[in-house]
Amino acid sequence: MIFIVLFYFGAIISRDDIRRHRIRNIDLLQFLLIGSLLWHQDIARLYSMGACVFVVGLAFALVFKIGMGDIKLISILIPLAGLEERIDIFRLLTFLVVTSIVPCIIIYVRKRNISTQIPWAPSLFSAVILYLATR
């Protein structure tokens, strides 16, 4: 059931991110509500972890110029992935780096330059799906 929800919302959110370079808040809210009902029994822990990831994401947004939609998506995906150990964070970050490099290479080959507007939602969903598949 987890993978079905990830694929469903991953397709919707990724399509919007690729087409419009925007992630709609209503899609994120629906994903958060359905995901929190499916994954965790301890909702307070899930939301507090999401808030911590959001604050760290804001710091990354200042340094790497990541959009707010991506920050909100990260603050939903990482707690839903259920990270509890340091090795899990390393594995998820490895998948994230690998899945983020591929779109950059494709965009560079097509346009011969790296745009500042790279749709990151497909990479985020791919990384979490790979992480959960290898767990």
CA distances from residue 15 to 2, 25, 122, 126 in whole angstroms, order as listed: 20, 14, 8, 13
User: Is the model's pLDDT at 113 over the cut of 70?
Assistant: no
Q: State the Cα–Cα distance between residues 89 and 76, nearest whole angstrom.
A: 15
pLDDT mean over 114-119: 69
List phi, psi (to 5°) of 46.
-60, -45
Quick: pLDDT tens for 37-79: 887 667 777 788 888 888 888 887 777 778 889 889 988 888 8
